[in-house]
Structure 1
């Protein structure tokens, strides 16, 4: 069996998604299953196969794409600068995928809607395509917009060129896929809004390599709690979507009636300096400690009493499972896939999203009741070790792969009775097409590269993609 795991995004910039890809691919490699991982190096502008050294330099085609698809040629593409950046890089990604090859695999597991749809456009031979959505492009885009314009309504954002682009890509990623592996009921419900059939879903929660976790946890910690302080922790990217500003606001409320706590924040991100400024403005310097990037999270958690995941949107953070495995009671926001991770009052707690007062009350309760912390933390550890092991996740995922590979082989033998699970992706996307586009020979790139790409791409491959970029009448 030969599997390809693919993403449009930069592999090492993916946070928890990179952990998901890395853990599964390494587990399969250890068990004799060949897995390639394709992603983008955003800094070097390459599409590459991890660990093989095979790469495609996007600079070989990006200048030609920019000149051939300029504002004068395709105004709709340039309705938003970031939309143009994403779409032109998607075309370069598609050409890179064709160059590196997708047809030698038994199955492709796409990790986002953009890679799923892009791969479907460059396939000449039908390879089963299973896709995981680890979040929502259009909802994350909306949350980014709220940072700039707090009064923006979601329906108005989705009418903007960029909001509509994200929504279209999610729709096309679903239409391009044969099946879906998701971690939570939330992401499944969101995808079904784009007409993904319920029968095509396999729900497999994220997991942690317990052997590796235990090895890291056994190492001595260098993070000591201050005297007479109980530690509240968060680990992850310092981005707006993670809701750290809500945790800092809750700390400001909590500080009004107790002093026996400190908040440890581990991680890096674009909002780091702003959160440090917020800490100073609220007079929380003695109650908040920013540790930067922490390499050994299990060891870091040893002296933690409560873990908080206040995200505005988060599918199923690995950090929550790591805290549960450490025997720490967790508090998560009631949004996205996080409520699936706890049983209220038994293995953790759920508070309303963006509600700093509610979070402060729950923290106050747990700080006051150490016996409750011990009971809930112990139950969380037992639950996580039973239901969140990498071995269980890998075997369940492998069973899904085998299911779609078997169906594809039956179809190749002319016995295409795929029942209700098969998604007829060509039929579902054809109606989205509009006006004509140019074929690849019109792209001014090196002749040898052009010839190679022409031999690997479907004969009907066109640029720009008129299922995405629609000229206005």
Structure 2
């Protein structure tokens, strides 16, 4: 069985190519298991401006796909017109012709790596990740406009046509591209009621297979223990998109400082203190993160990330829209208590007051109140964490996930018959 993956990331070749791609380690974790299946010949195509057409590493064939705009002139055109740069259908066609896969596994609808779907009759399964159209709808936080973003963007961002204001324009084009991909795909891996509803809305006759994700091994091996009494610590992992709720962190921290008197520290991983979006939010709100006990830690490798998370009392996920964020899943797998907004697919991950806490994602007062409530109940924190770990260990069971993936490949190849629950159980 020849299987071609189309991904955002170099996955297992990341180290060899010196690519730092935080947040997508779960794809590499799945690869580590799939490539060991005896009758699977795996290849992975990904955007990367490497000169090689392909190379082999540890029984996997890798195809680096150059971005659309690589020349100086091309980059200038891309910036001026906010064109999508992650696109190269002709190169992807050559990969398919060279590898001749039996099945194609597309990871996500956010990237142009999936544009080739409409040009092939090889069966494709789309592994749903984020969903661009709903994300676009929830792009702007409450009370913030594109005009506000433009007004408070740095001169550098304006001159280089980059940053949040111009990212919105790119996202609009990605949303159109996503709809085009969905038109041509029949099979889907999903994990939440939210992503299932979205796909069934667009493709009522599609084959939807519930398939969880294999997380990074370190989170299976480790377990959270409640910190000793003292400074109450919160931790968040966030990307530099405005819909991820960075302004809620600042507003909530400000409320906690001004009203509660709680001695706390909020660590934000994934952003450096000089990140463009940090300065943007401070300009819009006229508040400083550093004045409100919020510190930015930048990106961290696995061990450092685990150490930072493990010292916190609670994991806070402030995003205004998300499907099944791996940051939440990894925190739950560790056995950490999690507070997250009641948005997107998150209610499929967290049962409120059972294995985590949900709050109104646009209400910093609600979030602040629930943080105080948890801080006052250390026994509840430990109970939520314990229940979260039970759910996480079951949800991210490696054998179940790999069996589901392989069973789906087989079903797609064998006359493209729908994958039933009974079929999956038998594998």
3-state SS of 2:261 partner: coil
The counterpart of 2:146, out of the listed 143, 149, 153, is 149
Structure 1 pair 253–202 and aligned structure 2 pair: CA distance change class (3 A): same
CA distance in 1, matches of 2:219, 2:377: 28
Bigger Rg, structure 1 or 2: 1
| Higher RCO (CA 8 Å, separation ≥ 6 residues) | 1
What corresponds to 1:317 in structure 2?
325
The counterpart of 2:104, out of the listed 87, 105, 108, is 108
Answer yes or no: is the 8 Å Cα contact 1:138–1:167 preserved in 2.
yes
3-state SS of 2:199 partner: helix
The counterpart of 1:391, out of the listed 373, 376, 399, is 399
Structure 1 pair 344–225 and aligned structure 2 pair: CA distance change class (3 A): closer
Structure 1 pair 335–149 and aligned structure 2 pair: CA distance change class (3 A): same
TM-score, reference length from structure 2: 0.76
3-state SS of 2:415 partner: helix
Shift of residue 271, structure 1, vs aligned partner: 7.8
Give 5+ residue unaligned stretches, structure 2.
Answer: 12-18, 150-167, 421-427
The counterpart of 1:275, out of the listed 265, 275, 278, is 278
In the alignment, structure 1 residue 203 sits paired with structure 2 residue 199: no
Answer yes or no: is the 8 Å Cα contact 1:242–1:312 preserved in 2.
yes
The counterpart of 1:231, out of the listed 210, 230, 233, is 233
Answer yes or no: is the 8 Å Cα contact 1:141–1:163 preserved in 2.
yes
Answer yes or no: is the 8 Å Cα contact 2:140–2:242 preserved in 1.
no
What corresponds to 1:120 in structure 2?
117
Structure 1 pair 214–386 and aligned structure 2 pair: CA distance change class (3 A): closer
Equivalences for residues 60-209 of structure 1 within 5 A: 81-83=81-83, 85-86=84-85, 90=87, 93-102=88-97, 104-113=100-109, 115=112, 118-123=115-120, 126-144=121-139, 149=146, 165-194=173-202, 196-197=203-204, 199-209=206-216
What corresponds to 1:262 in structure 2?
265
CA distance in 2, matches of 1:148, 1:48: 45
The counterpart of 1:252, out of the listed 233, 251, 254, is 254
What corresponds to 1:2 in structure 2?
2
3-state SS of 2:128 partner: coil
Structure 1 pair 269–354 and aligned structure 2 pair: CA distance change class (3 A): farther
Answer yes or no: is the 8 Å Cα contact 1:20–1:206 preserved in 2.
yes
Number of residue pairs the alignment of both structures matches = 380
Answer yes or no: is the 8 Å Cα contact 2:333–2:388 preserved in 1.
yes
Give 5+ residue unaligned stretches, structure 1.
Answer: 72-77, 153-159, 409-417, 422-473
28-37 or 243-252, which deviates more: 28-37
Equivalences for residues 7-86 of structure 1 within 5 A: 7=7, 15-16=22-23, 18-32=24-38, 33-41=40-48, 51=57, 52=61, 54-55=63-64, 57=66, 81-83=81-83, 85-86=84-85
TM-score, reference length from structure 1: 0.69
Structure 1 pair 138–233 and aligned structure 2 pair: CA distance change class (3 A): same
Structure 1 pair 255–233 and aligned structure 2 pair: CA distance change class (3 A): same
Structure 1 pair 166–325 and aligned structure 2 pair: CA distance change class (3 A): closer
CA distance in 1, matches of 2:218, 2:7: 25
- Residues 158-182 of structure 1: per-residue CA shift (max 9 Å, x gap): xx99676444322221221131111
Shift of residue 259, structure 1, vs aligned partner: 2.9
- Residues 281-322 of structure 1: per-residue CA shift (max 9 Å, x gap): 347446222222222233322221111111122211111122
Structure 1 pair 374–280 and aligned structure 2 pair: CA distance change class (3 A): farther
